[in-house]
């Protein structure tokens, strides 16, 4: 497990009397990655203080969407340079966490598999959160990438320990073969504890485990 687990990063953006909290949630990551060029292009445009990119990040990550629209409406009445500088700092702070998480899509040095697109990795996290962790979709969308990874790793480690013949590194011995008894156990539990060893290895590799 990762040595330190922290809540998803949140950044407070203020403009005049308006304030909105930007959260680096799975929902925000998926929304921004779905834009043309993905988060990498959003980062580049944010670094150039493009208003379209700043607005996209604020709308995608704001915990209060109505509040975000009010802030943007007020910003339109203020000097562009003043708002762009403040918004850029907040948006870059938020995006930095997503760019670090995007490293998960890279193939490991010993792997011959092609790199997984970051959008596919985010979709995997949503499936793991709703399917394997059993969280409501709203909670999964609002969770951060690091939070989902940590919870998923803990869940899989617990399942592996519950599986006869499973070792700590996620591999199975002969005792973990799919015998009739084990198949009945899987049917009763509703899941296979060794469901995706490659996903487990990828997550552990990312955290140096």
Digit-coded pLDDT (tens) for 46-71: 999 999 999 999 999 999 999 999 99
Digit-coded pLDDT (tens) for 81-138: 889 999 999 999 999 878 766 554 444 444 555 667 889 989 999 998 998 889 999 9
Residue 206 has pLDDT above 50, yes or no: yes
Give the integer Cα–Cα distance in Å for 33 and 120: 10
Give the integer Cα–Cα distance in Å for 57 and 181: 51
Q: Rounded mean pLDDT of the chain?
A: 78
| Sign of the four-CA dihedral 81, 23, 97, 123 | negative
Query: Rounded to the nearest 10 degrees, how much is the dihedral formed by the CA atoms of 192, 196, 199, 203?
Result: 40
Give the integer Cα–Cα distance in Å for 13 and 86: 8
CB 176 within 8 A of CB 165: yes
Digit-coded pLDDT (tens) for 15-29: 999 999 999 999 999
CB 9 within 8 A of CB 144: yes
Q: Percentage of residues in the chain with pLDDT exceeding 90?
A: 49
For the chain, strand residue ranges (E) read 10-15, 18-23
Confidence band (pLDDT; 50, 70, 90) for 7?
low
Q: What are the boundaries of each domain within the chain? A: 10-104, 110-206
Length of the chain: 209
208's tokens = 């140096």
Q: For position 103, what pLDDT does the model report? A: 56
Looking at the whole model, is its pTM more than 0.75? no
């Amino acid at each position: 497990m990762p040595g330190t687990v922290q809540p998803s990063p949140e950044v407070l953006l203020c403009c005049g009397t308006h304030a909105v909290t930007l959260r680096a949630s799975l929902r925000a990551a998926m929304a921004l990655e779905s834009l043309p060029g993905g988060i990498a292009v959003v980062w580049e445009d944010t670094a150039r203080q493009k208003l379209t990119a700043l607005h996209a990040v604020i709308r995608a990550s704001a915990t209060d969407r109505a509040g975000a629209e009010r802030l943007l409406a007020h910003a339109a009445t203020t000097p562009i340079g003043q708002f762009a500088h403040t918004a850029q700092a907040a948006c870059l702070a938020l995006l930095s966490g997503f760019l670090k998480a995007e490293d998960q899509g890279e193939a490991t040095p010993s792997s011959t598999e092609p790199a997984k697109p970051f959008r596919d990795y985010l979709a995997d996290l949503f499936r793991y959160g709703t399917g394997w962790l059993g969280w409501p979709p709203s909670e999964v969308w609002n969770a951060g990438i690091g939070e989902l990874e940590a919870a998923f790793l803990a869940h899989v480690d617990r399942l592996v320990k519950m599986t006869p013949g499973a070792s700590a590194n996620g591999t199975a011995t002969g005792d973990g073969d799919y015998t009739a008894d084990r198949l009945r156990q899987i049917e009763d539990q509703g899941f296979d504890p060794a469901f995706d060893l490659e996903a487990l290895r990828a997550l552990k590799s990312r955290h140096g485990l």
